[in-house]
Amino acid sequence: MQEFPITPRNQIFETTQRVLNEAFADGLIMSQLVIRVQHYKDLCVEYGYPLTDAVVGEFVHLLSTNLRKEDHLFRTAPDEFVVILCGLKSQAQTV
């Protein structure tokens, strides 16, 4: 299975604007999620970066396997991710 690509952080504003424009033009909805890995710094201090990176890598894998190909995943900080869900047809899909 191919890993879901993480869009480069410097493209977040451009991608968000494009997705908003496309959603507006097509009468669709988009949603943006900000997800923070709790206790990231505590994990680094207690167990070191190799284990912390493995935990974050597993989190990204679990997250990315549940995203659609039209969605976008950004890593905006060591412990923070932004997901843009594109082309939603109803508010119910944003929850």
Residue 79 in this model has a pLDDT that exceeds 50: yes
Amino acid sitting at position 92: A
| The pLDDT of residue 87 | 86
Segment 1-14, tens digit of pLDDT: 446 678 888 899 99
d(CA 60, CA 84): 14
Chain CA centroid to CA 16, Å = 12
Residue 85 near residue 94, CB atoms below 8 Å: yes
Contacts 24+ apart (CB under 8 A), 6-9: 6/60, 6/64, 6/73, 6/74, 6/75, 7/72, 7/73, 7/74, 8/74, 9/74, 9/75, 9/76
24-57: pLDDT as tens digits: 999 888 999 999 988 888 988 999 989 988 988 8
How far is residue 23's CA from residue 84's CA, in Å, rounded to a whole number?
Answer: 12
Per the confidence metrics, is the pTM higher than 0.85?
A: no
